[in-house]
Structures are given as C-alpha cells and as structure tokens.
Structure 1
C-alpha cells in the first residue's frame, strides 16, 4: 500500500507530461526543431526593439522551454509577424510532491493532485517571480511597451504566470493561465499595485483535469474578484491536464484583440 501511495504523484506528473508531449508531437510534427535554452535567465535573448509585442511562455513541472516552442506556430495571424517569443526552461530543483526528486521546476509543489485547498510554498514562488520580472524588465528596457507584454503558462507555469503578472508594478498586456492555480493566499493581495490590477487575465481549464483539479482553477475567480482583477474564465469539457488546439486558438484571438486595442489607443492623431 505504501509503495502505491508513494508512486501516485509521480505517476500523475508522468501522465500529464506524456499527454502534453503527445499533443505537441501530433500537432506540430511537421514543424522545424528548435534549439534549447538552459535556464530562465540565461535563455533570455537580446531584446529586439523592432518587436512590437513580447510573449513569454512558462512551461509546466518537469517540462522544458524548447519542448513548447512549437506552440507559436499556431499563431498565424499577420499581427504576430513582429512578435518576439521566449520559452525559458525552469532550473532543476527538488520537488516535495515527488519526494525530493530533482526536476525542472519553477518553485516547490507540496502535493499532487492540487485542489482548491492545497498548501503553497510562497517563498519559492516569490523567488521565481523575481526571475520572471527580470525577463520582463529586460524586454521593456529594450523598447517593448509594457502594454504589449503577455505572459502565458501551463500548470505550474500558469501559477507562476498569475503570480508574476499580479506582482509586477506595471500594467501588462495580459496574463494567460492554462490549468493553473493561485500559488499564494489572499493576504498577498495587499502587494498588488493599482496598475497591476489593470492587467486582464485569461484562465483556461479542463473540467476533467486530474492533476490540477478544476476546483483549483475555479478558486481563482473569487480571489481575483476580491483583488479587483478582470478575469475571463473558460472551462473545457472532456479536457484533462493538457492544452488543446481550441485553447491556443482562442488565446491567439484574445491577444490579437488586445494588440489591436493597444495599437489604436497609442496611435498618434
């Protein structure tokens, strides 16, 4: 019985990773292979002032940035031609829910599956947020307007996306959370600036998610409402702990709408 219990979180993680990898392989098998990047900070490429929009994608536990790079091929609209993408890889850290196993992880996770009441390791979350903020700061210093910065992430990367957006001092273009959760308690709301609260959130979650339960995603709604943050929540029936084409296609239209709005509001008379 004990052996079976110990294996459960690792099995859940393995199934989730295999599902995501299978999705990417099937969907993007015709696309070119992309080179790897070793860590969140070292993979931040030189800022390109000609790129009007910047999209940062944060992967899930045990995954890597390069494995997710084909996602950008979904975004075929001409508005994304000058978009700069970045897919950093998390550093290798011991993870409590997998009994100290070292794997790519943005911060520590204490239990799997994750529920609405799962405990959080806020100190390690905040350390990861600083790394993400350093990436954002570099792009803004290189000429990207904050309102053209979009942070997106899946699972653990989704939780880090939420934390990074809400704790950033400026309003960004948006934050997109896929199958994520709120990685800190409500007392952290006091640290959100008024500008940060203006950043819109898109939340997508599969109803059949067995790794980050749907209830964990739903718990974000009252949290964000209390914080005064606008959130569009989309539930996907029959979807487990993975990303679907439908979610990514909606993300494309969601960002494109904001890109157009940003362009019109910042245009000169």
Structure 2
C-alpha cells in the first residue's frame, strides 16, 4: 500500500466505442485521493455533447478517515452518484455513514452529457440506433468500472474486506441494487436510496443464494415523482420473496436524500460493523418519567431515539411535545423528529409534514470562504444569491446557478433571531450543513 502522502493517477486510451484500457501508475497524495484519467471519447449516443470527439476526465476519489492507521483495517463505503451528478458531491459520505472511521470510495461515471449547457454524468446511455450502443452495454461498462475501482482500493489501502458497503442514490441506487445482487459476496450491506431493482431473474440472471445473507436497507421518499415509491416497494418484495433480508424505509420526502435517510443509513452500517452484543432491554412503560428524571442530553436523546423504534403507549405524544418545544436542545428536537418518522403512524406523519425545517451551519472549514465572511456554527442559512434555502440541496443548486464572472454573492443568514447579510466569493463555502427543526 502506498504511504498516505502518495496519490495515483494515470491515463487511458480508447480501444473501442466507450471501451478503455487503463494503465495506472503511482504518484503522490494526501487524505483525499483523486484519480483522474484523461480519456478521448467518441460520442456514442445523442445525449452526449455533439461536438465530440472531446477530452473528458474519468476517475474516482478515495477519502481516508482522520484516524487512518496502516496497521489496522477499516470498513469501505462505496458511494455511487445519481444521474447528472458527480463524485465530488459525495465526499464526506464515509464519515456520515461510519463516524467511527471508514474509507470512502466515490467513483465517477464514464459517460458525460450536456445538461442545460453544463456537463453532467450518467452511468449508462439509452439506446441510439445510429451508434449501435445499447443501454445494457454501457451499464455493463460502468459496473465493471465500479468493481475495478473497488478492487484497486482494496489492493492499495487497509480495507476490511468483510465490511464493504455499497450506497447509491437514484441511478446510483439502481446500480447499488444490481451490483449488490449480482456480486453479493463482495459486500456486507447494501443501501439503495431513491432507486429500484432493474434486473429480472431468469435462466440468464439467476438469483445468487449468497444474497440470503446480505442485508439491504432501501431508503425512499413517499412523494418521489422520479422513481415512485411503489416501484421500490416491488423491488423489495421481489428480493424478500427469494429470501433476501431486505427492508424499505419510507420518508415524507420527494426524490432526495434527507438527513433522516442519512441517519438510518449510518445506523444500518453501525449495526453490521459494530453489533451490540447486549440483548435489547424492554423500554419501561414509564419512560416519560425516566425522561424527566435524567437530565443529561445524551441520556434523553437515547430515550427519544428508542421511542421511534418501539411502539409504546404515550410515546408518540411525548415525541410530538419534545419536537414542538422550542426551548428544548436542537439535538433533542431533531431526534424526536427522526423518531416520529420511524413510527410511521398517520398522525406522526402529519406532525412531521407540519414541522418547519431550516438549514444550519454545523461546523466550518478553517480559513474557508464561509468562516472568512463571518459565518458561524448554528447560523441558519436563509437565502443564497437571492434564492431561498429550505433544504441542503437548495443551497447546492443556488451555488451552481451563479453566473460566470460574478465576483461575490450575498448570503442571508439568521442568528439569534436577527437576519444578517454576508458577502462571499461564489463557489465552495467551506461549511458542513445540517437540516434541523425550527
């Protein structure tokens, strides 16, 4: 394995329509390892930029945990981005899903396309009679590319090969399903979000019995209008009927990844990496009294979290009261919000839907643009460049929408009940965000 101060890069040459031979060499790197492979690609379908041939970049990012030690081993979190997205958007996923320390791998998809004047990325192309390229052939290339990235990282870094997790959103969620059920021996768990299983089991694609020992937790918004919830529900039924330990969690969300989804993905990884050997203790019926007795925030948070996992008389009313109590600590109210989602009762969902959410600065990157502009932890981000920010994806879209040549933008924040306007350069702010109950 190369030392932490090394990086890898290399080049590739085209050997056929969309097929590449990759020759990798060693070089120098830091905590985040970015592999970029310059490729001369011929556009094989109408969705590609029409001016091809053109030069693009294919690669993957490896992110090492802060506590990385070459004498130990670490879980591997493989995150697959969605249609039109890119690998850079998933940096930090290893910490989100495994705060105890994991290696992150974020592959870039091989196929760029033009999207409203910008370059986006897709994992497969749709059939184009002029080129003769099929959706399945390009999907197979992407699958092989992802598998090769996993093998390279396993060969170069201290990966616990019994703790490799595959996580993806939207198109990446579809690939999480397909790669996982086709190669179940490679993974400890699968986490598709906003996806579905686009694979039929037949004589050519037989169900691998190893899947019966591969846990899967699917995350999906009930109001998803891109990939409908019922389509994912059918996917889970297909796998369950064949004996796979698969579950589907439903959220009051559209086609997006919410903070609650991330938390449930984290808990899924944690339960498989560090299962608690102690038997679960029944929660006492007088939990409300226990909640009032122990005043420590951590203890109360544990109580609240467990209320969302088990049906207890009076539990929902207590969760609702905590979430609506603006004098309660933010962490406690957020935990109550997540617990109500897990309860999934009609009244709990009504409470969740009515809750007002805000985007907050969780922590700042030292010397980043946000810190230099005066942004502080717990500041509520209200607007960016005249666009309202109601969820983290709104801020990301607002940053991407800044026109070229703009030297600075206005960001409206709320701090201690007062609104302030900060000015900062466009682009990366340097802030870790969280969505909280107002």
TM-score range, shorter chain: 0.5 to 0.7
Deviations 1:26-79 (A, max 9, x none): xxxxxxxx78654797326599774421001001001011122144453474xx
Is the 8 Å Cα contact of residues 176 and 203 (structure 1) preserved in structure 2?
A: yes
Is the 8 Å Cα contact of residues 133 and 168 (structure 1) preserved in structure 2?
A: no
What is the distance in 1 between the residues matched to 2:212 and 2:71?
Answer: 26
Matched residue of 2:248: which SS? strand
What is the distance in 1 between the residues matched to 2:201 and 2:178?
Answer: 12
What is the distance in 2 between the residues matched to 1:41 and 1:258?
Answer: 32
Could you say which residue in structure 2 is the equivalent of 1:157?
A: 172
What is the distance in 2 between the residues matched to 1:87 and 1:254?
Answer: 19
Could you say which residue in structure 2 is the equivalent of 1:107?
A: 124
Higher alpha-carbon Rg:
2
Could you say which residue in structure 2 is the equivalent of 1:25?
A: none
Could you say which residue in structure 2 is the equivalent of 1:252?
A: 266
Deviations 1:177-216 (A, max 9, x none): 0000112223278444332442211101001111111122
Q: Which structure 2 residue ranges, 5 or more long, are not aligned?
A: 1-31, 38-56, 65-69, 128-133, 278-438
Could you say which residue in structure 2 is the equivalent of 1:186?
A: 201
Matched residue of 1:161: which SS? helix
Is the 8 Å Cα contact of residues 51 and 84 (structure 1) preserved in structure 2?
A: no
Could you say which residue in structure 2 is the equivalent of 1:67?
A: 89
Could you say which residue in structure 2 is the equivalent of 1:88?
A: 107
Is the 8 Å Cα contact of residues 33 and 63 (structure 2) preserved in structure 1?
A: no
Is the 8 Å Cα contact of residues 77 and 93 (structure 2) preserved in structure 1?
A: no
- The verdict on how the C-alpha distance between 1:187 and 1:94 changes in structure 2, with shifts beyond 3 A counting, is farther
Moved more, 213-222 or 248-257: 213-222
Moved more, 201-210 or 160-169: 160-169
Could you say which residue in structure 2 is the equivalent of 1:240?
A: 254
- The verdict on how the C-alpha distance between 1:93 and 1:183 changes in structure 2, with shifts beyond 3 A counting, is farther
Aligned runs of 1:42-57 on 2, under 5 Å? 42-43=59-60, 45=62, 50-57=72-79
Higher strand content, 1 or 2 = 2
Deviations 1:125-170 (A, max 9, x none): 3332222221223344455343210010000001111111111151
- The verdict on how the C-alpha distance between 1:109 and 1:207 changes in structure 2, with shifts beyond 3 A counting, is farther
| Residue 133 (1) aligns with residue 147 (2) | yes
Using the size of structure 1 for normalisation, the TM-score is 0.67
Matched residue of 1:57: which SS? strand
Could you say which residue in structure 2 is the equivalent of 1:113?
A: none
Is the 8 Å Cα contact of residues 159 and 182 (structure 1) preserved in structure 2?
A: yes
Using the size of structure 2 for normalisation, the TM-score is 0.43
Could you say which residue in structure 2 is the equivalent of 1:31?
A: none
What is the distance in 2 between the residues matched to 1:109 and 1:197?
Answer: 32
What is the distance in 2 between the residues matched to 1:67 and 1:84?
Answer: 16
Provide the aligned length of Structure 1 versus Structure 2.
Answer: 214
Moved more, 223-232 or 58-67: 223-232
Which has the bigger relative contact order, CA under 8 A and spacing at least 6?
1
Is the 8 Å Cα contact of residues 83 and 172 (structure 2) preserved in structure 1?
A: yes
What is the distance in 1 between the residues matched to 2:126 and 2:254?
Answer: 19
Could you say which residue in structure 2 is the equivalent of 1:214?
A: 229
Is the 8 Å Cα contact of residues 197 and 235 (structure 2) preserved in structure 1?
A: yes
What is the distance in 2 between the residues matched to 1:147 and 1:128?
Answer: 23
What is the distance in 1 between the residues matched to 2:195 and 2:167?
Answer: 11
